[in-house]
Amino acid sequence: MSFVKTYPREVPGSNNPRWEEIVLEPQEEREEEQRARLENIYLLRQCIADARNVMIDEDLGNYHSHVIGIAIALYKKRASHAIYYKENRCRKKFEELFLQCAKIPPV
């Protein structure tokens, strides 16, 4: 199923916005998922390193289960970018489609 996001667009002479649906192409969606995946792997590695440092700084030992538990807690705070990237891509498409159209004077 494609990723769809709706945005309000101002309509001249109307107080109510017109809602426009922006749909990501499958290729665009895969690109954003891949971007999020790579960033999430990088973030998880950072979280594991940070968790190890916390364990050492607090003199808690170096138990793998504790390190992973702390790393997961950190990761949950830092991750969840896949939807953000898709929404951001839709926003850019919306702006390209409708803000460019608004700049063209009527004939």
Domain membership flag for residue 10: no
Domain membership flag for residue 98: no
Domain membership flag for residue 106: no
What is the pLDDT at residue 21? 93
Band (pLDDT 50/70/90 cuts) for residue 103 is: low
Q: Is the pLDDT of residue 100 over 90?
A: no
Domain membership flag for residue 77: yes
Band (pLDDT 50/70/90 cuts) for residue 61 is: confident
Q: Which long-range contacts (CB under 8 A, 24 or more apart) does 36-45 make?
A: 36/81, 36/82, 36/85, 37/82, 39/81, 40/75, 40/79, 40/81, 40/82, 43/75, 43/78, 43/79, 44/71, 44/75, 44/79
Domain membership flag for residue 95: no
Domain membership flag for residue 9: no
Q: Is the pLDDT of residue 27 over 90?
A: yes
Domain of residue 38 covers 27-90
Domain membership flag for residue 66: yes
Q: How many domains does the chain have?
A: 1
